[in-house]
Amino acid sequence: DRPERDANNSAVDVDAYVLLDGMKRYIAFGYRLDDETATDAELDYAGSRLKFAYAQQINALQLKAQVSLENRDYRNVMESLGEARRDERLRAGISAAMPLSEHFSLNGEAQYADYASNLASASFDEMIYNVSLAASF
């Protein structure tokens, strides 16, 4: 519905895992570089994201904690700001997955997100909660 937001995006994403007890307990690190060119030049940006996760399986319960830090530097001056937009994003969360049977699991997640930007409408924080029933065959 907003053609000015149509964009081409390219990214390089690298992840590394340190297995402490196979996939039952591990640490993961990641880094991502983004480049996006939108129909509206004010929305073109380059960005990067650093992420960290720790996961542990206790009996059948899989627990995971993760945090990510992202920045976006917009390449062009936004008319409404009089300068280029800059965003910093922090996301932190915990999740749990519990198998109910061979094909079904119950998943839960709580995540905090803090978005800071020099564009007031893009600066906010939120808590996100999610509970889902997953099926795999």
Could you tell me the two tokens for 1? 């519905």
What's residue 5's pLDDT?
81
What's residue 46's pLDDT?
96
- Asked if pLDDT for residue 132 goes beyond 90, the answer is yes
Instruction: Find how far residue 63's CA is from the centre of its chain.
Output: 18
Instruction: Find how far residue 134's CA is from the centre of its chain.
Output: 21
* Among the listed residues 105, 108, 51, 43, the one whose alpha carbon sits nearest the alpha carbon of residue 72: 43
Tell me what percent of the residues of the chain surpass a pLDDT of 70: 100
Q: What is the pLDDT of residues 64-102, one digit of tens each?
A: 999 999 999 999 999 889 999 999 999 999 999 999 999
- Asked if pLDDT for residue 53 goes beyond 90, the answer is yes
- Asked if pLDDT for residue 4 goes beyond 90, the answer is no
pTM of this prediction? Answer: 0.83
Which residue in the block uniquely carries the two structure tokens 């996939």? 23
What's residue 23's pLDDT?
85
